[in-house]
Structure 1
């Protein structure tokens, strides 16, 4: 579980590191997290076995994800891209939404259809974070 968590984190970080700008990196990172829910190894170990055995991701893994997202959001707020809010609260809400959506996508025969619907909903959610100009 820890090895896959680390690999997922590295993949997500690479997305942030290679993005054209911080917002696109954040958005792409969230989308990639949902896409990973269809990968057989992640689906089996992270989304099914960990839930059954551990009740979900480890507290350390959750904390790491929220802290990483918090830093990204704080940066986006300082850049004037995302509306001001408590970055830890916002990161916790977004992480929880992504984690729950990943379980939903992985839980069923129609994963691709669920992913497509989840992406539309994610875009709607993320657009709500942006500073209105």
Structure 2
């Protein structure tokens, strides 16, 4: 398995999820792997964070109240086509995944997933800065 130590030091990741336990789990785990992590509990709060500082990667859920992850990414893509986005979601159909890519996502990972799989996807997106997984 490839470790994040091969990724640019202190890459910044924004984790967006309305579930506080899951959001904190991802944030703590990524921080332990050497990432600089910011979090947002909703799409509108994520947009505020994105306007303040652009991360190297965004991890977002799809199902969130007020503004879905799909809407968040569509809005992000209006002013930033380059920041990679990985959807991390419980929505598991092919149509859901296609909607994620159509919205501008670069990767799609269905919950539950293994930690090593998440890290490999994160590293691939940070290393390539383009393309889909």
TM range (shorter): 0.3 to 0.5
Normalized per residue, which structure has more helix? 1
Larger Rg: 1
Normalized per residue, which structure has more strand? 2
TM-score normalised by L of structure 2: 0.38
The structure showing larger relative contact order (alpha-carbon pairs under 8 Å, at least 6 residues apart) is: 1
TM-score normalised by L of structure 1: 0.38
